[in-house]
Every structure is written in structure tokens, then in C-alpha cells.
């Protein structure tokens, strides 16, 4: 009798637990996790993406949610630390019972989170983890539970090399790279493979450096047409400032790590001329009705122009919504299966289809900065 009672009680407890889980079909809300860099040295990226995520969720919930269920966001700060990013992913997937995770923003943090989401079988979408190996393991096998709304570094590197040749008429390039970052290493490798001109010199710095006088002095008097600077805004902004103050006037070419207003603050707007970078979104590019609506809604919500990182976070939530509707389920495994089949999804960063390696097939934008402001945007198709 006692055994029967306890078995009954245990069964009821299990049923209660299942019904309160974010992944349950019967849950009143759909729980989505956020694993973002909200403090630490790249907090600008994670904070920007979280703003886009919050706006998308607000819109979806105001429109009745997904099949009548409201989205509940569970967001945690990974502190721009890879160990913390893994811990947050574990917590979200196993303790918070989220159906999917958005973030982290940076490639290293995403790779740290992969084992946790793979064990828990919860899909993760990174808005801006561009390293090619984010969605593929060392043997080239796809990471089953990892997706992204950004294009990968190999595409950026190829795009920038072609842009240097075709648009800037560059025949000689100097590379200033971050030798401590997988992101910068991947971009450098792809650029060097594609660029048909001469690499006059290649100098390196380490994340956290602030004084770049030595490497800039080394290249200043060399004969080159363009500086290729793959890196994050923290160091890139200071390098641009110090280069311009030393009289180095050649165009500076970078990747999506330039795409935050902190770059302008660090460099000084007066120094940010003839600077170009690959972006995922631009208010200067030809806009669809969806993009125009997003820009208007973002300005209303935050009293600011949206950045690429805002837009990528926003698209990530709508992509999850699409997958849930396509799967007709909030089961994480079924959401993952639906994400693999997404075709012609219209996002504010472009129309995208998810390829066999879990990357979006979509166009890139090369943005020109003049006096610290976007002055032109060129759309580059894949």
C-alpha cells in the first residue's frame, strides 16, 4: 500500500514537472534562453543583440504569441568569458528548460557552449558567432544543435579580399591581426587565400592591448594600398585612432567586429574616414518593407538607430518562431529539425535559407564610414 502511494505521488510529481517545463506542449509560455555577453570586454555585442531579442519578443507577444503562447525570455550574462558561457548554456538547457537558446555573440563563447547544448539536445542560434568551426567540428561534421543567423568568416574574408581588389583597386595590403582570437585568425586565413595581390607585411597584437605604436611604426613607411584589420571594436577603434594620428591615411578594411558605435567612440569620429567593413545590416542599404518596419520600431523602442547586432538578435527570435510554427511543436528536438529545413526566411538582415552546415545563405553588406558615420553600403551577394 505504501509503495503504491509513493509510486502514485512520484508519478503526479513527474507530470507536474513536465507540464511546467518550457519544452512541454502544454506549457502556458514558451521559454527561450539568452546567453549573452552583457558585461566584460565585448559587452557591447551581447547587449546590442539582447535589445534586438527583446524587441522581437515584445512584438510577437503583442501579436498573440506563437499559437497563443507567449514567449518568456530567460537571459543570463556570460560576462564575455568562455567558461561562464558554457555554464550559462548548461543552466538554461537543463535547469530553466528553455526550448532554444539565442547567443552567445562571439565565436569562442559559442564553441564553449556547444557541448552543453549538444548533451541537452537544445538548439542554439548565435546571431554573430562567425568562425567557420562554430557549426562544424574538427572533422568537418555538422554540430547538430548549433545554427547562426550571420554568415561565416570564410565568406567575410573572401568578400573583403574581392572588395579590396575590385572597389579599392588594392594591389598591396598590410594585415594587422589579433593572434589571440579565433575570429581574427579565421578572417585572416580566408582573406589571404582569396587576395591576389601582395601581402606587404603582417603584424599582430593580442586582445586587451591598448598601445599599438610599435606595430604602426613598423608599417608606416611601407608601400601599401590598404590595411586589413580583422578584429573586435575594442582594439580596432584604438588602432584606427593611433594610425590616423600618426599620419597613416590608407583605407582600413575590417569585418563585422567593427559594427558597433563603441568603435567610433574609441577612434574618434574625425579619425574614422575611408574605413570599410562587412556588415549584416545597414540603414543605408536598399530596405524591404520588413526592414523599414524594424528600423521604425527600434527607433521608437530605444530612441536610436539599430545596428547589425540589434538586427541579428531580432532575426534570431523570429527564426525560432518560424521553426516552432513549422514543427507545430515546442519540443527542442523538433525545433532543431525544423531549423534545418528553413528556406527563404525573410529577415531584416536579408532573406536566408539554412544550408547543410547550418549556415544562412544570404547577402553581405560592405559599409563605408566617413567622419564616423555610414556614408555608403554595397550589397554583396553570395
The reply to whether 377 falls in a domain is no
Q: Say whether both 140 and 168 belong to one domain.
A: no
Q: Say whether both 98 and 235 belong to one domain.
A: no
Q: Say whether both 55 and 123 belong to one domain.
A: yes
pLDDT of residue 286: 66
The band of 337, judged by pLDDT with boundaries at 50, 70 and 90, is very high
CA–CA dist 152, 360 (Å, integer): 9
Q: Say whether both 145 and 190 belong to one domain.
A: no
Q: Say whether both 336 and 311 belong to one domain.
A: yes
The reply to whether 264 falls in a domain is yes
The CATH code of the domain that includes 333 is 3.40.50.2300
Window from 171-175, 187-191, 261-265, 288-292 with minimum mean pLDDT: 288-292
Q: Say whether both 205 and 91 belong to one domain.
A: no
Cβ proximity of 163 and 179 under 8 Å: no
Window from 22-26, 114-118, 312-316 with minimum mean pLDDT: 22-26
The reply to whether 380 falls in a domain is no
**Strand positions, DSSP E, 39-141:** 70-77, 100-102, 124-126
Domain boundary among 252, 279, 306: 279
Domain boundary among 228, 255, 279: 279
Mean pLDDT over all residues of the chain?
Answer: 92
What is the count of structural domains for the chain? 2
The band of 9, judged by pLDDT with boundaries at 50, 70 and 90, is very low
Give residue 109's Cα distance to chain centre.
11
Cβ proximity of 229 and 164 under 8 Å: no
| Per-residue cell: 175 | 594585415
- The pTM of the full predicted model, rounded to 2 decimals, is 0.83
Q: Say whether both 23 and 91 belong to one domain.
A: yes
Cβ proximity of 85 and 109 under 8 Å: yes
State which residues form the domain around 31: 2-151+288-363
Q: What is the mean pLDDT of residues 293-304?
A: 97
Cβ proximity of 108 and 68 under 8 Å: no
Q: Is the pLDDT of residue 36 over 70?
A: yes
CA–CA dist 188, 230 (Å, integer): 7
The reply to whether 93 falls in a domain is yes
Q: Say whether both 175 and 255 belong to one domain.
A: yes
The reply to whether 203 falls in a domain is yes
Give the number of other Cβ atoms within 10 Å of residue 83's Cβ.
11
Percent of the chain past pLDDT 90, that is, above it, reads: 85
Q: Is 27 helix (H, G, I), strand (E, B) or coil?
A: coil
The reply to whether 373 falls in a domain is no
CA–CA dist 98, 330 (Å, integer): 10
The reply to whether 262 falls in a domain is yes
Q: Say whether both 18 and 145 belong to one domain.
A: yes
Q: Say whether both 174 and 233 belong to one domain.
A: yes
Window from 275-284, 322-331, 367-376 with minimum mean pLDDT: 275-284
Dihedral angle over CA of 237, 371, 185, 366, nearest 10: 150
CA–CA dist 267, 269 (Å, integer): 6
List, for residues 40-97, the tens digit of each pLDDT value.
999 999 999 999 999 999 999 999 999 999 999 999 999 999 999 999 999 999 999 9
The reply to whether 274 falls in a domain is yes
Exposure string of 218-253, with b = 16+ CB inside 10 Å and e = fewer, is ebeeeebbbbbbbbbbbbbbbbbbbbbeeebebbbb
Q: Say whether both 239 and 316 belong to one domain.
A: no
Q: Say whether both 222 and 144 belong to one domain.
A: no
Amino acid at each position: 500500500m505504501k509503495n503504491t502511494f509513493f509510486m502514485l505521488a512520484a508519478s503526479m510529481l513527474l507530470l507536474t514537472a513536465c507540464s511546467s517545463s518550457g519544452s512541454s506542449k502544454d506549457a502556458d509560455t514558451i521559454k527561450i534562453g539568452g546567453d549573452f555577453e552583457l558585461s566584460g570586454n565585448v559587452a557591447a555585442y551581447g547587449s546590442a543583440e539582447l535589445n534586438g531579442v527583446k524587441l522581437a519578443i515584445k512584438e510577437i507577444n503583442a501579436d498573440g504569441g506563437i499559437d497563443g503562447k507567449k514567449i518568456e525570455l530567460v537571459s543570463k550574462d556570460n560576462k564575455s568569458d568562455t567558461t561562464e558561457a558554457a555554464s550559462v548554456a548548461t543552466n538554461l538547457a537543463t535547469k530553466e528548460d528553455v526550448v532554444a537558446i539565442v547567443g552567445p555573440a562571439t565565436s569562442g563563447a559559442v564553441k564553449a557552449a556547444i557541448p552543453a547544448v549538444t548533451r541537452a539536445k537544445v538548439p542554439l542560434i548565435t546571431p554573430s558567432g562567425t568562425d567557420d568551426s562554430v557549426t562544424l567540428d574538427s572533422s568537418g561534421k555538422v554540430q547538430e544543435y548549433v545554427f547562426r543567423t550571420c554568415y561565416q568568416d570564410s565568406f567575410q574574408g573572401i568578400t573583403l579580399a574581392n572588395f579590396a581588389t575590385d572597389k579599392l583597386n588594392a594591389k598591396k595590403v598590410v594585415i594587422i591581426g589579433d593572434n589571440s582570437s579565433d575570429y581574427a585568425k579565421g578572417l585572416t586565413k580566408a582573406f589571404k587565400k582569396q587576395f591576389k595581390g601582395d601581402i606587404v607585411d603582417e603584424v599582430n597584437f593580442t586582445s586587451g592591448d591598448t598601445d599599438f605604436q610599435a606595430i604602426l611604426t613598423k608599417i608606416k613607411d611601407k608601400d601599401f594600398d590598404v590595411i586589413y584589420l580583422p578584429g573586435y571594436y575594442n582594439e580596432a577603434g584604438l588602432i584606427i585612432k593611433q594610425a590616423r594620428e600618426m599620419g597613416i591615411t590608407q583605407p582600413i578594411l575590417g569585418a563585422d567586429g567593427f559594427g558597433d558605435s563603441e568603435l567610433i567612440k574609441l577612434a574618434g569620429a574625425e579619425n574614422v574616414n575611408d574605413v570599410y567593413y562587412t556588415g549584416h545590416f545597414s540603414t543605408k542599404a536598399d530596405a524591404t518593407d520588413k526592414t523599414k518596419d524594424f528600423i521604425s520600431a527600434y527607433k521608437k523602442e530605444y530612441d536610436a538607430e539599430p545596428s547589425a547586432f540589434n538586427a541579428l538578435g531580432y532575426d534570431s527570435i523570429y527564426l525560432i518562431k518560424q521553426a516552432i510554427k513549422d514543427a507545430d511543436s515546442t519540443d527542442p528536438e523538433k525545433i532543431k529539425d525544423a531549423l534545418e529545413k528553413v528556406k527563404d526566411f525573410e529577415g531584416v538582415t536579408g532573406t536566408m535559407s539554412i544550408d547543410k552546415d547550418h549556415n544562412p545563405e544570404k547577402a553581405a553588406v560592405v559599409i563605408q564610414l566617413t567622419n564616423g558615420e555610414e556614408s555608403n553600403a554595397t550589397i554583396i551577394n553570395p
